[in-house]
Structures are given as structure tokens and as C-alpha cells.
């Protein structure tokens, strides 16, 4: 392997682990990777080809940039967090002689997840020493302080996918019980994180894996039936956690009341609001803004619009927190309109189509997990989500487009 390409791969592997532990490293490491790619191009170790891999994400960023011109309260600072929509697709557009070392990148990610778990327990113990014997120290944001619990959950589930399908370097060569220890650990962490999206996504991953494993010997119908049964069992086990059970029951009750009388629901709740009822209120406000502004409110305009809605509906305390819609699809519609939503749907459709063609089960599940989280959270609003998902979307597609004969993931 040429020298610059080897260094590039080492830095890329390190990037996948280090930025999870220290988010501030994401930018500097991306700059180093881009410099190495340009040096490699100058030394003719790679070729720069602007392919269909890069242009949709770049177009996504361009839409966000232009939205500043029609936003009533433009916020250019938000655009800086979205630079990864350009940086990562361009980075993976450089075609080296060898495929991207996905298995080793996945290993770095998984090892970083183990360190994050250690940090989470340390923070929880320090919290308990400060606040006394408090259960909340070991749950949600008290437990996961480096990254928001939803993002931490997504990181862990991605490692679970790699371990299940034996796609992670080193672990793929060891006895299966080694991987299952980590799978069990990463699954158990969700009782601390308490994210409904994470629980649903995790159950979907296990059901899909077991159904896929059984389909060859049991047939499609029996394997799907088994998968459905396991889904029910998995949900039942998750509901044994008092926190998750309370969250699920609240979500069911709030949704039932919302469907019965939506207008009355969004204007009759009392502060402080619980997470699920607040999410329904935010979704309602966001949908109304989409209808009123089909081209979006621009970067910085959405927060002001939702704040006005919440104040008008009698939620001044929530309005001060400047919430986002907690749904990535509504977020895109509110900021860059229906055109932005169509572009995002096109990106995901193209990824799923290519993954299915490649029979890349792990990649299909990765994109499915992304969809599940996008229903409940604005996953591409924080740096944690943008860098993580863009990196892996582009890494998978880079190998498919540039090295069609390489092993699928």
C-alpha cells in the first residue's frame, strides 16, 4: 500500500473512535484527512471523482446555506455545524487503490463505545456522590453526558449490528461468545439511556438478525413469525424497566388523547410538560408551519416560529427552551421546505436500493436504525449525529461505488 494511503487509513480509523470521545477533535481530524487526500492526489495515489455519492449531500448543504436569505431571523452559526454535509462526502470521493478499511473503522468505533460506557458510569457515580442516592444519576442525560442519550444509543446499536453480522475487525476472528458479551453489554445500556427510539431500533435489529439467520433453514414465513414473536418478547422485556414502561404508557396515553381531540390536546396541557406530550405538541406546531411555509423558514427561523406557537398555546416555560421538532423529517421541512425533504428521501431511497442490490444486511439495518431515530429525534441537528451518520453513509457508499467487487457490508 502506498505510504500516504496507509497514513490516511490510519487517521481515518483513529477518527472513527477519537471524535466519539472528544467531539472537538472531529473538525481537526477531518482537516488532516482532507490534507492527506490532497497530498495523495498530488502524488497520484488517488483520483478525485465527483460522483453521485457526493452531490446530493452537497446539494443538501447548499439548500441550508441559501435558506439564510429567506429566514426572518437567520442564524449563520448553525450552518457551521452542517459543514460535514460537504466535508465528508468530498473526503470519500477520493478514490484510493484500496477500499476504505470499514472493519477496522468499526473496531475503533466499538472500542470508543466501551470507553464512553466507562465515562458514563464514572459521571453517574460522581453525580450520586453529589446528590446522594439518586436513581436519576444512572439514567438519561445524567448518565450520558458526553453525547445526548439518543446519539449514544445510536452509537451502541451500530456496534451491535457489526458484532451480530461479524463485520468488526478482531471480533470477527474470535469465538462468538466474545461478541455476545459486548452485545449484551451494549443492549443493557439502554436501560440507563431510556430512549424509546433506541429500544424500538434495538428490537428491530435483533428481530431482523434472527429472522435473517433462520430464513435459510426455516423458510421465510416461519422465520418472520418467529421474528414477530421475538419482537413481542423483546418489547415485553424492555417494559420490565419501570422508566421505559412509564415512558411507553405515557406515550400511548398521550397519543390516544391527541388522536381523539388534537386541538384540545395541544392547547390544554399544563406545564411542566412530559417528554412525550411535548413531542406531540411540537409535531403539531411543526406540521402547521410546514403548511404555512412549504419552502421552509430558513436556518434560524424555525426556532422563533415554534416559540411563538408555544407561547400562544400557553407554554411560556417550554418556549424559552427553543426546542426543535424532535423529528428529522419535520425539522428539514421547517428549515428548507418540502424540497429539502424530497432530497433527504432521495438520499435514503438511493442508499436502501444500493444496499439491497449489494445484499448488505448490516448497511440496511444501519439505515433502518437511522429512520427509526429520525421519527423521534432531529438526528442531523447536532454535530454528534451529523458526523456519525454522514461518515458511515459515505463510507459504505464509497466502497460500493468505487470498489464494486469488495466485500459487502
Q: What is the pLDDT of residue 101?
A: 96
Q: What is the pLDDT of residue 391?
A: 96
Q: What is the pLDDT of residue 240?
A: 67
Q: pTM for the full model?
A: 0.92
Q: Which residues of 219-251 are buried (b: 16+ CB within 10 A; e: fewer)?
A: eeeebeebbeebbeebeeebeebeebeebbeeb
Run of H or E residues at 8: helix 3-21
> Dihedral, CA atoms, 403, 160, 202, 191, nearest 10 degrees?
-150
Q: What is the pLDDT of residue 31?
A: 96
> By C-alpha distance, which of 233, 232, 149, 204 is closest to 367?
204
Region of 378 on the Ramachandran plot (φ > 0 left; ψ -120 to 50 alpha; else beta): beta
User: What grid cell was written down for 388?
Assistant: 456519525
Q: What is the pLDDT of residue 234?
A: 66
Which residues does 167 contact at the CB level (< 8 Å), separation at least 6?
A: 102, 103, 106, 161, 362, 409
Q: What is the pLDDT of residue 227?
A: 66
The alpha carbon of 288 is separated from its chain's Cα centroid by a whole number of angstroms, namely 26
How do residues 196-240 score in pLDDT, each as one tens digit? 899 889 989 988 888 888 777 676 666 667 767 776 776 676 666
Q: What is the pLDDT of residue 30?
A: 96
Q: What is the pLDDT of residue 169?
A: 95
Q: What angle do CA 15, 17, 18 make, to 5 degrees?
A: 70
Q: What is the pLDDT of residue 303?
A: 86
Please tell me the distance from the alpha carbon of residue 344 to that of residue 91, in angstroms, as a whole number: 20
Q: What is the pLDDT of residue 132?
A: 78
Please tell me the distance from the alpha carbon of residue 15 to that of residue 37, in angstroms, as a whole number: 14
> By C-alpha distance, which of 92, 97, 68, 90 is closest to 80?
68
Q: What is the pLDDT of residue 363?
A: 96
Q: What is the DSSP string of 292-323?
A: H-TT---TTHHHHHHHHHHHHTT-HHHHTT--
Q: What is the pLDDT of residue 235?
A: 67
Strands 46-48 and 94-96: antiparallel
User: What grid cell was written down for 150?
Assistant: 439518543
Region of 170 on the Ramachandran plot (φ > 0 left; ψ -120 to 50 alpha; else beta): left
H-assigned helices in 43-101 = 55-67, 76-81, 84-91
Q: Which residues of the chain have pLDDT under 70?
A: 217, 219-224, 227, 231, 234-235, 237-254, 275, 405-407
User: What grid cell was written down for 404?
Assistant: 464494486
Amino acid at each position: 500500500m502506498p505510504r500516504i494511503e496507509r497514513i490516511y487509513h490510519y487517521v481515518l480509523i483513529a477518527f472513527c473512535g477519537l471524535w466519539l470521545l472528544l467531539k472537538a477533535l472531529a473538525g481537526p481530524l477531518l482537516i488532516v484527512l482532507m490534507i492527506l487526500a490532497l497530498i495523495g492526489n498530488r502524488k497520484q495515489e488517488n483520483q478525485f471523482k465527483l460522483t453521485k455519492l457526493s452531490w446530493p449531500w452537497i446539494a443538501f448543504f447548499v439548500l441550508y446555506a441559501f435558506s439564510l436569505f429567506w429566514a426572518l431571523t437567520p442564524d449563520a452559526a448553525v450552518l457551521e455545524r452542517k459543514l460535514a454535509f460537504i466535508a465528508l462526502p468530498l473526503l470519500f470521493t477520493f478514490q484510493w487503490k484500496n477500499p476504505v478499511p470499514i472493519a477496522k473503522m468499526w473496531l475503533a468505533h466499538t472500542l470508543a463505545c466501551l470507553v464512553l460506557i466507562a465515562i458514563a458510569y464514572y459521571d453517574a457515580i460522581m453525580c450520586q456522590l453529589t446528590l446522594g442516592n439518586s436513581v436519576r444519576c444512572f439514567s438519561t442525560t445524567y448518565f450520558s453526558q458526553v453525547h445526548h442519550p439518543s446519539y449514544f444509543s445510536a452509537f451502541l446499536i451500530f456496534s451491535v449490528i457489526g458484532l451480530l453480522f461479524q463485520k468488526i475487525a478482531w471480533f470477527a476472528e474470535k469465538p462468538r461468545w466474545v461478541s455476545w458479551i459486548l452485545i449484551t453489554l451494549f443492549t443493557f445500556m439502554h436501560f440507563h439511556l431510556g430512549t424509546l427510539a433506541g429500544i424500538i431500533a434495538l428490537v428491530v435489529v435483533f428481530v431482523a438478525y434472527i429472522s435473517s439467520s433462520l430464513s435459510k433453514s426455516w423458510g421465510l414465513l416461519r422465520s418472520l413469525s418467529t421474528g414477530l414473536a421475538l419482537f413481542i418478547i423483546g418489547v415485553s422485556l424492555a417494559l420490565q424497566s419501570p422508566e421505559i414502561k412509564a415512558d411507553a404508557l405515557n406515550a400511548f396515553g398521550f397519543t390516544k388523547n391527541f388522536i381523539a381531540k388534537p386541538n384540545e390536546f395541544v392547547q390544554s396541557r399544563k406545564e411542566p410538560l412530559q417528554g412525550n406530550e411535548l413531542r406531540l405538541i411540537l409535531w403539531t406546531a411543526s406540521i402547521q408551519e410546514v403548511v404555512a411555509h412549504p419552502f421552509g423558514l430558513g436556518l434560524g427561523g424555525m426556532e422563533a416560529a415554534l416559540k411563538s406557537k408555544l407561547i400562544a398555546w400557553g407554554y411560556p416555560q417550554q418556549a424559552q427552551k427553543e426546542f426543535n421538532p424532535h423529528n428529522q423529517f419535520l425539522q428539514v421541512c421547517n428549515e428548507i421546505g418540502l424540497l429539502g425533504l424530497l432530497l433527504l428521501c432521495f438520499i435514503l431511497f438511493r442508499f436502501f436500493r444500493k444496499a439491497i442490490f449489494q445484499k448488505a444486511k448490516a448497511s440496511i439495518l444501519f439505515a433502518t436504525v437511522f429512520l427509526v431515530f429520525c421519527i423521534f429525534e432531529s438526528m442531523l441537528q447536532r454535530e454528534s449525529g451529523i458526523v456519525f451518520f454522514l461518515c458511515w453513509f459515505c463510507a459504505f457508499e464509497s466502497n460500493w461505488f468505487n470498489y464494486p467487487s469488495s466485500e459487502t457490508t
